[in-house]
Amino acid sequence: MAFTSRAWRVAPFIFAVVTLEQAASFSIGINLFTFAFNTEHFSLATAANIVTNFMGTMFLLTLLGGLVADLWWSRFKTIVVSGVLEILGILLVALAASIKSLTPPECQLLDASCKSATSSQKAVFFGGLYLLALGAGGVKANIATMGAVHFDENSPVEKKELGTYFNTYFIHFCVGALIAITALVYTQENVSFEVGYLIALGCMGPLDDSKMGYRIEHTDQFTFLDRAAIVDYNSPPTAQTSPWKLCTVTQVEEVKLILRILPIFASTIVLNCVIAQVQTVTLQQGRTMDRRITKSFEIPPASVAALPVVFMIIALPIYDRIFVPIARRVTGHENGITYLQRISVGLLLAIASMVVAALVEKKRIRVAREFGLLDSPTARVPLKIYWIMIQYFIIGLADMFTFVGLMEFFYREAPERVRNMSTALTFVSLSLGYFLSSTIVDIVKSVTTKGGGLGWLPSNINRGNISNFYLLLASVSAVNFVVYVACARWYRYRDHSDADSALDRDVELEDAPSKATDIGSVSKRPLMA
């Protein structure tokens, strides 16, 4: 397939940074649960929350990174400064994990004499974690749009290529995660990687960041906001109009665009709560299973989480090269299916993944009971890891459909001048999903341990009830899907035909005394200098 957009000339540099940055940040996040549980001696629930709080904060800070690039700095400057902060954070975390005085004494897992990390040890470790989160947020928010801005949305050919660009971006995002899980998660020394990351970051030349003028036509949703664009002729003729009191139609419509995408954004948070389980409860579930593939090869514990990433890397090219062209001929849509349809498939798959996870957990507990392993949390249950691959495969597909669809949806539907910040909403949804996971874990732990019971999520998962936890998430996801369908049916796609690069002057709405309440009949006039 031959590409025509000049964006593909800079895409290799962008994809290189995406791959290495994701490897850097994900190598910390994916191994964080094991470090917190086994080395820092936190409880299962606390360790799970440490992971979700860190990942949630990192993705939430993408909103700040997008805001800084949109309002004050360029994308390139934001990426460079954020990259330096991320490297410093990784170095600090590496020191906290490598120096013995910065970790509690070693002890037998689940031994009552185990001591947790001291306040000073926690300060160094968490300080590094959240410095990393701050830097990663700035990079992730801007790197995708740095290439996407070079696609001409008025060209039918380049509109199709934009979808391929986002799919390819996500493939490299997944490759970075795979590198982290398979190659970086075991190393205590990050210097060689950090040097490689800095070199890759330095390859990012200052790309063209010019902004084209554009205009958005008036729409009939959120009409109460139209009052901000109505000229008040009762004010003194010499009075200078404040921009806080009188807006252009485009400014009003930009606010409407943001408000329209927020319900879609909110209804994807539960999906990301489900995905968060891959790095917490599901990871611990897989650690207790028989991970031997052959007599001489075994999947390492931390690499179990690589399974959905591998599935996504395989599935994305198939989706882009086979499914999209076939669907395009059927539907006539340049992306095969719409963004909202793609997201809905991901939400349905998330429900299925939790149901399958519950069934697999019931089988794992049954096998553990048969072999007398319920009170041996570190023992290996004689159940092949293939069983857990099913839920990982479904979760991987759910993430593939939703993440790329959501990112392209936010990029295409949001106002041009805040595209960095709007694209960051994809990561903010991930963030809130992680925080929601922490909240649900806390609630489940509190409710199910009343009366002195072990609850659903004890440190010894063989004596817990993780299957009920998965079914709870499936139920919440089902309710969320119904809400999403309602929001998607209400949503009206933006008309991109009004985004001309050679723009007419913007307009305000006149306050026509006889028809002041009928915004549709109000006339327009050119903006006065």
Kindly state the percentage of the chain with pLDDT values over 90. Answer: 8
- Residue 347: the pLDDT is 93
Type of residue found at 120:
S
- Three-state DSSP at 525 gives strand
Residue 439 has pLDDT above 50, yes or no: yes
Tell me the C-alpha to C-alpha distance, in Å, between residue 243 and each of 34, 246, 247, 414.
53, 5, 6, 22
Contacts of 265 (CB under 8 A, 6+ apart): 406, 410, 425, 428, 429
**What's the whole-number average pLDDT of the chain?**
74
Domains and CATH numbers, the chain: 10-105+116-205+267-448+457-498 (1.20.1250.20)
What pLDDT, in 10s, does the model give residues 366-395? Answer: 998 888 888 887 788 888 888 888 888 898
Range scoring the smallest mean pLDDT among 136-150, 170-184, 240-254, 507-521: 507-521
* Per-residue pLDDT band at 358 (split at 50, 70, 90): very high
In this prediction, residue 344 has a pLDDT band, given cuts at 50, 70 and 90, of: very high
Find the mean pLDDT for residues 50-62.
83
> Can you give the pLDDT at residue 173?
86
504 versus 407: the higher-pLDDT residue is 407
What pLDDT is recorded for position 479?
Answer: 95
* Secondary structure of 355-396 as H, E, C letters: HHHHHHHHHHHHHHHHCCCCCCCCCCEEEECHHHHHHHHHHH
Written as six digits, the tokens of 411 are: 């990029």
pLDDT of residue 110: 60
Residue 206, CB-side half-sphere exposure with 13 Å CA sphere: 4
pTM over 0.75: no
At residue 5 the predicted structure's pLDDT band, cuts being 50, 70 and 90, is low
Q: What is the pLDDT of residues 412-428, one digit of tens each?
A: 887 777 777 778 888 88
Q: Could you report the per-residue pLDDT of 65-111, keeping only the tens digit for each?
A: 888 887 787 778 888 888 888 878 877 777 777 777 777 767 666 66
Which of 320, 342, 480, 460 lies closest to 402, judged by CA?
342
pLDDT at position 246, please? 54
Tokens representing 45 are 């629930």
Q: How confident is the model at residue 221 (pLDDT cuts 50, 70, 90)?
A: low
The set of residues, in sequence order, having a beta carbon less than 8 Å from that of 13 and lying 6+ positions away, is 203, 204, 205
Question: Taking a C-beta distance cutoff of 8 angstroms, is the pair 77, 201 a contact?
Answer: no
- Band the pLDDT of 476: cuts 50, 70, 90: very high
3-state SS assignment for residue 106: coil
Asked if pLDDT for residue 496 goes beyond 80, the answer is: no
pLDDT at 35: 73
Is residue 208's pLDDT more than 60? no
- Better-predicted residue by pLDDT, 200 or 451: 451
AA letter at 332 = G
pLDDT in tens, 144-161: 887 777 777 677 777 777
359 confidence band (pLDDT: 50, 70, 90)? very high
Percent of the chain with pLDDT over 70: 74
Stronger pLDDT, 223 or 521, i.e. the higher one: 223
Ranges of H-type helices in 72-185 = 75-98, 119-148, 156-179
Each residue's pLDDT tens digit, 230-283: 444 455 554 555 554 555 666 666 677 778 888 888 988 998 888 877 767 777
